[in-house]
Structure 1
Amino acid sequence: MLFNLFSRAEPTPTITDFIWMTRAAKHRGAIDLIKKHPTTIVAAWFNQTINEFQQDATTVIPGFTVRNMRQLVSPMVSNKTVIVLEHYPLRKKELAVWQQWKAERIFVLSSLEDPLFQFFGGDKIVDLMRKMGMQENESVEHALVSKALVNAQQKLDKTTINESTANSQEEWFTRNHPVKS
């Protein structure tokens, strides 16, 4: 116990967020990333995301498999690149998994249509991005965007009391945050 007092916190792997305007653009971007990194492990938190992406990806990449985040263990991902098809709404839960994994790097793919973004006004951001001339197939990758996302997740950490599990991100918000605070 005394030794834990002076030990360093577990390092977090390099995490890069890619955010697209639409879910369809996110799927296309994910397929492009998988083609560039064919040995990458691809996973998602929610079964609905797994099923939807699996269906899209197998038409382009035969035999492709999306794994459930809860079934991945450290030896499977240690020192490897992992593509995660969505953020988990709660930062503390997401971070706990990533620290156990010891992955080399993690790409997290999101769309502004994802319920996590919609909960925090993603539709307004889409309008702004279109006015600025951004194309649907372009992704945003910036430390400030990632930090804003972490802040949003931490806000949910504080306001989620008794978490109920769900099959989709949308169902998760319906069960855990039925009315936007």
Structure 2
Amino acid sequence: MFGLFKKKEDEVKVVDKVVISEEAKLQVMYSYWNQNKNIQFIFWFDETLRLAESYFATQTNESIVLLTAREASAHLLNGKIAVFAEHYPIHSKEDALYKKLNLQKVEVFSSLREPLFNKFGGDKIIQLMQQLGMKEDEVIEHKMISKAIRNAQDKIEKKVPFEQTAQSQEDWLAKNSPDQNTGQ
């Protein structure tokens, strides 16, 4: 009755691991993979994947599994740990993939310099974090951060009636929310 006692649909738990710079994000991801080589990194955008391929090629001769979200499947992940290398600007699309991959928990690496963060005042956050003494490669992780990212994604999603695909997060935001001033 009225949905008051309905069980909330199972949500995938998202654990955000945020650093200041893109290079620091790649360094931390490489270190993370070095500790557990059962990890497969998943990328939403081809440009981010290419940057990671270039970076990892300078770090190791070993093969690191890097997949686009289009390629990722439950079959490919069988027995592996899926770790996302960035957020998609629309939460419902992320959540649909997480569920398709049968994930209960997802770790997502992000940089405060990513376009998604810049859209919501990332530069101000970076300035504050640096004033507090945070190092470029220091990982911050808290459910409040994950909630703020989710709220930002929801704001974007409400203003995107027809999504246009893109090769990078920056291009996606330019095509799909060019006039949004959401950092206010």
Instruction: Give the TM-score taking structure 2 as reference length.
Output: 0.89
Q: How far is 1:178 from its partner?
A: 1.1
Residue equivalent to 1:77: 77
User: Which residue identity does 1:30 align to in structure 2?
Assistant: M
Q: 1:58 to 1:105 in 2, by over 3 A?
A: farther
Q: How far is 1:105 from its partner?
A: 3.6
Residue equivalent to 2:3: none
Residue equivalent to 1:3: none
Q: 1:109 to 1:130 in 2, by over 3 A?
A: same
Q: Distance in 1 between matches of 2:11 and 2:41?
A: 18
Q: 1:84 to 1:57 in 2, by over 3 A?
A: same
Per-residue CA distance 1:36-77 (angstroms, 9 max, x = gap): 110111110000000000110122132324111111112222
Tell whether 2:153 aligns with 1:137: no
SS at match of 2:24: helix
SS at match of 2:136: coil
Residue equivalent to 2:39: 40
Instruction: Give the TM-score taking structure 1 as reference length.
Output: 0.90
RMSD between aligned alpha carbons? 1.7
Q: Which runs of 5+ in 1 are unaligned?
A: 1-5
Residue equivalent to 2:27: 28
Residue equivalent to 2:109: 109
Residue equivalent to 1:128: 128
Per-residue CA distance 1:92-132 (angstroms, 9 max, x = gap): 00001001111354210000110000000100000000111
Q: Which runs of 5+ in 2 are unaligned?
A: 1-5
How many residues are treated as equivalent by the alignment?
Answer: 175
